[in-house]
Amino acid sequence: MTRITRAVIPAAGLGTRFLPMTRSMPKEMLPVGRKPVIQYVIEEAVEAGITECLIITGRGKRALEDYFDRSDIGDNDENARLDKLIDRLDIYFVRQKAPRGLGDALRYAEPFASGEPFVVLLGDTFTRPSCLPTLISAHARHRVSTIAVQPVPEVLLSRYGVVAGAPCGPDELRVSDLVEKPGPGEAPSNLAVLGAYVLTPAIFTALARARPGRNGEIQLTDALRVAAKEGRLVACISAGRRYDIGDPVSWLLANIELGLADSETGGAVRELLEELRTERSRDGSLPVQ
């Protein structure tokens, strides 16, 4: 069995929902707790055995390259941990020529994949615990592309790709179809794609045939649908906590949650939340529990 050691992280999105912050900062560098979101993604990859990583960037993303250089500035535990992480991983960068969608970005990764299965992680999404070990294990058993999915409320399904399929193992589906951002009543299930994948090299053939869709973008979903129609796609249902830093609200909530979990900041965050709760209870805007 070939061990999967390569990961691709598409990070070329414009981050328009975070304007004006993303005028000068890649959205992947937005802080979640005391680290930028992309560091959580890299850590997830390294813990799963990844030793080489290709980050696909675009205009205005130079900060990503600078961040993953070793640094001798100051003596700080978090800085030292990042340097140790960098030492465990060879990181490469390539620029997407124009923002033409996730599928187009992945086409730049074909030489890097070198004809072997590889991991894809989005630069602004991670899970706790990681879903990667489950995906890699499922790929080893089924020898096809595997994707992570998770139940989401019906009102949120329009934000994601949604799968249809039949059980093929514990918490696994043989995917028969995918629908990208379905409208009301169009979702085939409540299982949304998480943004973590193990893909076989066949994905590049499907991407080469994919036609641009909305806004002239090439979607990974279209290529995955080809694999699904051929019976070569398995979805693993993840029970992990998803942190999707895709909009200001989810980013803020992630900061609060991870701030509470941090041994150094948890006490202060908890005190502030209790103080706000007390104030709102006093002025009648929040009922006392």
Domain ranges of the chain: 6-268
Reply yes or no on whether the pLDDT at 14 is more than 90: no
Q: What is the pLDDT of residues 241-270, one digit of tens each?
A: 888 888 888 899 999 999 999 999 999 999
Encoded amino acid at 80, one letter: A
Q: What is the pLDDT of residue 74?
A: 65
Distance CA 171, CA 176 (A): 16
Q: What is the pLDDT of residues 180-211, one digit of tens each?
A: 888 888 899 999 999 999 999 999 999 999 88
Q: What is the mean pLDDT of residues 222-230?
A: 92
pTM: 0.91
Sorting pLDDT into bands at 50, 70 and 90, what band is 288? very low
Reading the block at residue 193, the tokens are 């794609």
Reply yes or no on whether the pLDDT at 72 is more than 80: no
Reply yes or no on whether the pLDDT at 73 is more than 80: no
Question: Do 138 and 152 meet the contact criterion of CB atoms below 8 Å apart?
Answer: no
36 has which bridge partners?
31
Q: Please, what is the average pLDDT of the chain?
A: 90
Q: What is the mean pLDDT of residues 36-64?
A: 95
Q: What is the pLDDT of residues 98-115, one digit of tens each?
A: 888 899 999 999 999 999
The superfamily CATH assigns to domain 6-268 is: Spore Coat Polysaccharide Biosynthesis Protein SpsA; Chain A (3.90.550.10)
Percent of the chain with pLDDT over 70: 96
Which residue did the predictor score with more confidence, 80 or 107?
107
Q: What is the pLDDT of residue 10?
A: 95
Q: CA–CA distance from 135 to each of 12, 107, 121, 259 (Å)? A: 24, 21, 12, 28
- Whether omega for the bond prior to residue 153 falls within 30 degrees of 0, making it cis, is no
Q: What is the mean pLDDT of residues 156-174?
A: 91
Distance CA 238, CA 236 (A): 6
